[in-house]
Amino acid sequence: MPEADRLIQGCRQDPELFRELVGLFQARLYSFLIRLAGRQAADDLFQEVWLRVYQAAPRYEARGKAASWIFKIAHNVALQHHGRRAKQPEAAGDALDALPSGDLDPAAAGERAETLGQVDAAIAALPFEQRQVFLLREFGGMPFKEVAELLEIPLGTALSRMNAALEKLRGRLEDFRA
């Protein structure tokens, strides 16, 4: 049994397993929520996602990838938030705090922050439907078939939204490199 499956199935009985589960997905999930819903909302949504994961753990069946299951919950929570607030996420710099900086020298750290800020701004500028597909695929690690099922759209639509998102990102980031 994969590690994440074991953690999900045991987290209701052992709080330490729940802490391990959160630690396993914390950075990726938080970054996903920041980019989908914005920095201010991400903190609250992050807590809500983990509450729902904890509540749903007894019903979890290890049929697919645990990451897909958790990111489906996160997507649903973010979608409910989006429906309530209909607000574009904050742009550059939102996800920078969620990503580890490592032991970079100040010049490299500044360059990295600038690059990540441009990437974050480019993602935030995507239309919501394209951003959903991109983030579920790239941050959630979900196969396109699962993305399409989750969003209740045809597989071809998911693929075309991803293609459009990648084209827009390429264009925006090409401007940055020039």
Domain contains 99: no
CA atoms within 13 A on the CB side of 134: 25
With a cut of 50, say whether residue 62 has pLDDT above it: yes
Query: What number of residues does the chain have?
Result: 178
Q: Provide the H-helix boundaries in 38-65.
A: 39-56
Task: Find the helix packing angle between 15-37 and 3-10, rounded to 10°.
Answer: 110
CA distance 76 to 82: 10
Domain contains 144: yes
For the segment 69-88, what is each residue's pLDDT rounded down to a tens digit?
Answer: 999 999 999 888 876 654 44
The CATH number assigned to the domain holding 108 equals 1.10.10.10
Domain contains 94: no
Distance of CA 92 to the CA centre of its chain: 16
For the segment 7-54, what is each residue's pLDDT rounded down to a tens digit?
Answer: 999 998 999 999 999 999 999 999 999 988 888 899 999 999 999 999
CA distance 136 to 61: 20
The model's pTM is 0.71
Q: Tell me, yes or no, whether 1 and 85 share the same domain.
A: yes
The CATH number assigned to the domain holding 85 equals 1.10.1740.10
Distance of CA 141 to the CA centre of its chain: 9
CA distance 49 to 29: 9
CA distance 63 to 72: 14
CA atoms within 13 A on the CB side of 39: 11
Full domain range(s) for residue 14: 1-89
